[in-house]
Structure 1
Amino acid sequence: MVRVVAAGHVNWDVTLRVEALPEPDGEARIVSQRRSGGGSAANAAVALAGFGVDTGVVGSVGDDENGLLARRELERVGVDLRGLRVVEDAETSVKYLVVDGDGEVMVLGNDGANEAVAPGDVDPGYVRPADHVHLTSQHPDTAARLADLAADAGATVSFDPGRRLDERDYAATIEATDVLFVNDREALEVLEGDAAYPESEVSDQVVVVKHGAEGATVHTPAASFEHPGFDVEPVDTTGAGDAFAAGFIAVLLDHPGDYERALEFANACGALAAQSEGARTAPSFPEVEAFLGEQF
């Protein structure tokens, strides 16, 4: 049985490393190029599988070569693909990630087939047995459907809406979410009385605010906890947020309510992921434990 279902985008990534991003009408030399699977749902699923959690993915790819490569990568690490839709005569979404010398990322991409899962395509029999459903950026109606199925079955729900939070109405999904992951900018929209996301809708939820290199804060109904993060030299921040979310979820699965422990572990996952190139760089449990041991 799949213990965690991760739902959202499954992409193929092309990572281009440059010394610095060019100015308008300028040019930058490509230092290195890397191709691998990507997409927040797929990244989180891979990370959770690496932590020994039985994980499946709900998403969609095209029936092209990139989709085949993405599926093979997921299968290789043990991610269950029964919830992954392969769309005939469609292109898998490709994201071009331009990474500068400081590890900052600029993303270019096409939508492709990564939002071909409509609410009616979701198999309730695949979602309901799970202990937890982790939602990432996807069509709002599909996200809401998945959240409702999980809640009705008694599973917990987390949501990391990502860059498109300000473009889409995710209010219904947020209302059904137990753990919400946002960055500082997104937190202003969710927690500061934005019309689409009134504060009353999230007051009884756990909200994790990611501060990048400055760590993160978790707000619970009972208390708030902060962690300053770890002082590391970033190589590529692509996927660090997905590794962070996966680490947080993995701890809470076995230690419900231990938010301080989850926050520290998640920050370590994000820091280690940022020290490696590519989106699929989530560390294993032993690697995180060794890293944490070195900090004290």
Structure 2
Amino acid sequence: MTAVLIAGIAVIDFVLTLDEMPRRAEKYRAREAAIVGGGCAANAAVAVARLGGQALLAARLGDDPIGDLILKDIDAEGVDCRLVRREKGRRSSFSSILLDRDGERQIVNYRDETMEKGAGWLTGSSVPEFDAALADTRWPDGAEAVMRLARERGKPGVMDVEAPTRIAGDALRLATHLAFSEQGLAEFSGGADLAAGLKRARAETGAFVCVTRGGDGVSWLEGDMVRTMPAFRIPVADTLGAGDVWHGAFALALGNGEDEVAAMRFANAAAAIKCSRFGGRSGAPSRIEVQEFLKERA
């Protein structure tokens, strides 16, 4: 079984669906609601597990009831949580998320800024063997630790690059693959256009670089040319967690030995299926669902 080490945040999301986003300070009634686990790393870990991989999650939680809920939910998905550290007296992260009728989202997140930022336990033999690593810019120390381990062990190291990007500069330089959001690439490159931004990122890091663009698919550098793989066209119910599912699927495919183009197509399919379902990461697909989806579109 392909193992993916994933470092980053794990939260609980309180998701409410409305016809349109609130614009005034008054009461609103949700059409639908769900309490689901969230956070970039936790979402990606669940995606990896559902897609048939072994997900190893490294994260920081408080010793509070929210942390209990987060762990219970992730554990039920089959994610290995031995590298999750809980800190006494700290509060776990949670988010309030509003979705409009088009599936677009607005997120308000709380995180305990007194949480220990270090990742000293993610070194050497304390971390099990893995086939690929994934991290994001929201926990720079954790990202650097797992990207360094991936480099030392000769495994693909994927960074989910969101703004602010430079706070995780050491991790970006250690990674083999950088998958930017459009906002992340613009911030990293100082507002350069897509092609110039990708070229700057590759020149600074030497990594494979791409940018995920939602409904416009994913673009990457092939030599000095920008290539684009369109997104699959599906009815959109909920985009929440789609990017995290994409990154988890991409890292898993690389860990399986797929090349970047095949890995991006696999990730596009997984993210598209998720977007067709309400409920954040609860809509993440199984490997069989992705395989059938791709077979129908061969």
State whether structure 2 residue 135 is matched by structure 1 residue 135: yes
State whether structure 2 residue 200 is matched by structure 1 residue 201: no
Q: Who is 2:64 aligned against?
A: 64
Task: Find 2:186's aligned residue among 185, 188, 212.
Answer: 188
The whole-number CA distance in structure 2 between the counterparts of 1:33 and 1:230 is: 27
The whole-number CA distance in structure 1 between the counterparts of 2:223 and 2:49 is: 30
Q: Who is 2:39 aligned against?
A: 39
Q: Is 172-181 or 26-35 further displaced after alignment?
A: 26-35
Compute the TM-score of the two structures, normalised by the length of structure 1: 0.88
The whole-number CA distance in structure 2 between the counterparts of 1:189 and 1:144 is: 20
Segments of 4+ in structure 1 off by > 6 A?
A: none
1:130, CA displacement in angstroms? 2.0
Q: Who is 2:89 aligned against?
A: 89
Structure 2: gaps (5+ residues): none
Q: Who is 1:242 aligned against?
A: 244
Q: Who is 2:10 aligned against?
A: 10
Please report the RMSD computed on the Cα atoms of aligned residues, expressed in angstroms: 2.4
8 Å CA contact retained: 1:127, 1:150: no
Q: Who is 1:77 aligned against?
A: 77
Q: Who is 1:174 aligned against?
A: 172
SS of equivalent to 1:188: helix
1:266 maps to amino acid:
A
1:120, CA displacement in angstroms? 2.2
Q: Who is 2:254 aligned against?
A: 252
- Deviations along 1:29-48, one digit per CA (max 9) or x if unpaired, are 21122112111101111111
8 Å CA contact retained: 1:216, 1:227: yes
Q: Structure 1 224/213 Cα, relative in aligned 2: closer, same or farther at 3 Å?
A: same
8 Å CA contact retained: 1:182, 1:209: yes
SS of equivalent to 2:81: coil
Structure 1: gaps (5+ residues): none
8 Å CA contact retained: 2:134, 2:157: yes
Q: Who is 2:276 aligned against?
A: 275
1:126, CA displacement in angstroms? 3.6
The whole-number CA distance in structure 2 between the counterparts of 1:220 and 1:236 is: 31
- Deviations along 1:3-52, one digit per CA (max 9) or x if unpaired, are 21100001111111111002244554211221121111011111111112
8 Å CA contact retained: 1:18, 1:98: yes
Q: Who is 2:295 aligned against?
A: 293
Q: Who is 1:165 aligned against?
A: 164
Q: Who is 1:261 aligned against?
A: 262
1:223, CA displacement in angstroms? 6.5
SS of equivalent to 2:96: strand
The whole-number CA distance in structure 2 between the counterparts of 1:113 and 1:12 is: 17
Q: Who is 1:148 aligned against?
A: 148
8 Å CA contact retained: 1:55, 1:79: yes
- Taking only the aligned residue pairs, the percentage that are identical comes to 28
SS of equivalent to 2:167: coil
Q: Structure 1 74/43 Cα, relative in aligned 2: closer, same or farther at 3 Å?
A: same
SS of equivalent to 1:68: helix
1:38 maps to amino acid:
G
SS of equivalent to 2:103: coil
2:187 maps to amino acid:
E
1:136, CA displacement in angstroms? 1.8
8 Å CA contact retained: 2:122, 2:146: yes
The whole-number CA distance in structure 1 between the counterparts of 2:93 and 2:215 is: 29
- Deviations along 1:56-96, one digit per CA (max 9) or x if unpaired, are 10001122222112111211121111100112222210111
